[in-house]
Structures are given as structure tokens and as C-alpha cells.
Structure 1
Amino acid sequence: MTLALAVVLLAATVVLLGALVVLHVAPTGLSPVGEPVSRYALTRWRAGYAVAAASAAVAGAAAGLLVPQRPAAVPALLWLFAAARALIPFFPMDAPGVEPTRHGSIHRVLAVIAFATVTLAAVFAATGLGDAGYPALSTLTRVCSALMIVGTIGTVVAARAPAVRPLFGLMERLIYLGMVVWFGILAIVFLAA
């Protein structure tokens, strides 16, 4: 079971990374520094965004089944992350300059849930992984969670402070970087175990 879950986690992470790379090199006119990743859903490249979200959901669900069950909150957080990522393509963000919509509001809630749960899962998992006999993985998980924490704080500040708003996309991508690296490392370690 562990091997199959690790394969699913690795495959989903590779697809997620590939979709994000395609979105970032595609001629979208979006700035990776200033624009949220969700804005790709408002371009003709929305299918790439949907693939990224779906693969993140699969990776989160697989990770939730793969990580040690201590603390118990980690699998639940990862499954909540997976659910939020699976739903988010159906509720695109509001386009810039338009009145807020119900879909846009739901999108914001789902984004907050996704980023908060994957970040907290990594924070809590670091201890459980260490206790389960994976000290190096525990350390790497702490590094990934630190990236996600910095990105989360940065997105909150950028969303509220006009002076740093132009860095919103960069801060959000720190969360993605921590998440993708963490999922990839989890998959590789459990494949080798």
C-alpha cells in the first residue's frame, strides 16, 4: 500500500509541477511576481490551472494516507487541503476590477483553507515524521513548512498593504514551492523505504 501511495503522490506532484511550469511559461501576460496563480483560470490557459488544482488534490489525498498518523490532525488537514483544491477550479476568482461575486468569495475561502491546511499539515508532520524514524525527512519538512509560513504571512501582508501588494504572487509561489517540494520529498522517501 505504501509503495502504491508513494507512486500516486510522486505522479501527482510531477503533474502539478508540470502544469505550473506550463502556466508560467505560457504567453498569458500575467506576472508571476504580482498575480496569484488562480488568475491563470481567467485566461485561455484555464485547463492548465484545473490540472494543477486536480493534481494537487490527488497529491494531498495520497500524502494524507501516506504520512504517519501521529499527530492525527495531519491526515485530516491534508484531506481538507485535497477537498479545497479539488473544488477551487469550479469557483474561479473574480476578475480584477469587477464587483465581488459569490463564486469569487467561495474561491477566496477555498484558497485560504488550502494554503492554511497544507502549511499546518507540514508543520505538524515534521514531529510525527521524526518520531516515526525519518529524522532527515522531518528536517526537510520543517524547511518546506517554513517556506509555506513565510509565503502565507507574505500573502496576508500583500493583500492588505498597498506597498507590498505587487509581491502577492511571489509570496503565494513560496507556498507552492514549499508544498511541491514537500510532496516530492515525501514521495521519494516513501518510495525508497
Structure 2
Amino acid sequence: MVTAIAVIALLGVVVCLGCLVYLHVAPTGLNPVRDPVSQYGITDYFTFYRAAALSLGVAALMLAVALIEALTEANAAGIVFLVILGFARLTIGWVPMDAPGAPRTSTGLRHNLLATAFFASATVAAFLFTGTFAGDAGLSGIAPASGVLAWAMAVFSALILLTSLVGPLKRFFGLVERLLYVAVLAWIATVAIALVAA
């Protein structure tokens, strides 16, 4: 059962990655170094953004279920943060960001809160599970990679805050956000593959 659930989580990562790659080669007019990933959600290609968000949400929730079943030592806090991550992604595609230069709206604020919940919960979950993996006979091998990716998420999250606040650095916001996406997807994929192989 754990293997099947982990496979679904891994497929969620693959679908999310495929949608994001397509958005980056589609003629959206967006600059991946400057523009946020969420901006794809307010283009004509918003369906692919929603699919990416949904598939990542499913991946996170399935990973939570698989870890509940697989771990010898429970990590309730880590599961809670994975669930927050999952639901943040499941809903964000229907809560679009405000267009650049447009007046701020309550919908845009909710979008920002969901995005923050996504990045923060992924980072916290990765840190919480790193310790659990280290003490688990079946998953101890991925503890070092989990720790590296957790720190990468923390660094990129801090840089997202920096590039959103400091004028000259704002042109790099999109790049930093995409690096954070890579770290999150890599962490979920690493754990899911380990569960499949266990």
C-alpha cells in the first residue's frame, strides 16, 4: 500500500514538473528571472498553472499518507505541515495573484498567504522529517539529502523575502522562486522514491 501511494506522490511531482516546463517554453511573455511562477495563473495558459498546483498538492498529501504508514516513529508535526502544503497548492490555482501594477485586492492577499504557506510548510516539513529519517532504518539513507534540501528551501525562502523587498533585487525574484520550487519538488521526489524502493 505504501508503495502505491508513494508512486502517486511521485507521479504528482512529474505532472507538476511537466506543466511548469511547458509554461516556461510557451509564449506567455513572462520573464522567468523576474516574474513569479504565479503570474502564469493570470495568463491564457492558466490551466497549466492550475494543473501544476493541483498535482503538487496531491503529491504532498499522498506523501503524508505514505509516511504515516511507513515510518516506525510517528512525526505528527511533520505530517501537519505536509497537509498544509498540500491544501495550499490545491486551492491556490483558484485564488489568482494581482496583476503587476494593478490595485491590491483581497484575492491577491489570499494568494500571497497561500504562497507563503506553501513555501514555509514545505521548509518546516523537510526539517522535521530529516531527523525522523535519520532514526528510521528504512529511510536513514535519505536523511543527508533531506537535510541539504531543507536548508536550500530555507535559504531560497529568505532570498524570496529579500528580492521582494529590495528594489534592485526585485528583478531576480522569479529566479529565486523557481530555485525554491526545484528544492521542494526534489525533496518530495526523493522521499517518494525512497518509499517506493523500501
TM-score (norm. length: structure 2): 0.94
* Structure 2 residue aligned with 1:178: 183
Cα distance in 2, alignment partners of residues 39 and 147 from structure 1: 23
2:21 partner amino acid = V
2:100 partner amino acid = P
The answer on 1:42 being equivalent to 2:76 is no
CA contact (8 A) 1:150 1:171 kept: no
* Structure 2 residue aligned with 1:17: 17
The answer on 1:145 being equivalent to 2:133 is no
The answer on 1:188 being equivalent to 2:193 is yes
* Structure 2 residue aligned with 1:87: 91
What whole-Å deviation, never above 9, does each CA across 1:83-117 have from its counterpart, x for those lacking one?
A: 11111011100001110011101000100011100
Cα distance in 2, alignment partners of residues 176 and 136 from structure 1: 23
CA shift at 1:182, angstroms?
1.0
Indicate the RMSD between aligned Cα atoms, in angstroms.
1.1
CA shift at 1:188, angstroms?
1.2
What whole-Å deviation, never above 9, does each CA across 1:13-52 have from its counterpart, x for those lacking one?
A: 1101101111111111111111110000111110010000
CA shift at 1:12, angstroms?
0.6
Cα distance in 2, alignment partners of residues 179 and 135 from structure 1: 19
After superposition, the Cα gap between the structure-2 partners of 1:136 and 1:16, relative to the gap in structure 1 and judged at 3 Å, is same
CA shift at 1:66, angstroms?
2.1
Cα distance in 1, alignment partners of residues 34 and 144 from structure 2: 30
Cα distance in 2, alignment partners of residues 144 and 188 from structure 1: 15
- Identity rate, percent: 36
* Structure 1 residue aligned with 2:160: 155
* Structure 1 residue aligned with 2:31: 31
What whole-Å deviation, never above 9, does each CA across 1:40-68 have from its counterpart, x for those lacking one?
A: 01111100100000001001101112233
What whole-Å deviation, never above 9, does each CA across 1:94-143 have from its counterpart, x for those lacking one?
A: 00111001110100010001110011100111001111122321111111
SS at structure 1 position matched to 2:27 = coil
Q: Which is further off, 77-86 or 183-192? A: 183-192
Question: Structure 1: where are the runs of 5+ without partners?
Answer: none
The answer on 1:169 being equivalent to 2:178 is no
Cα distance in 2, alignment partners of residues 168 and 143 from structure 1: 22
1:65 partner amino acid = V
Question: Structure 2: where are the runs of 5+ without partners?
Answer: none
Cα distance in 2, alignment partners of residues 52 and 129 from structure 1: 27
TM-score (norm. length: structure 1): 0.96
Q: How many residues are matched?
A: 193
The answer on 1:126 being equivalent to 2:130 is yes
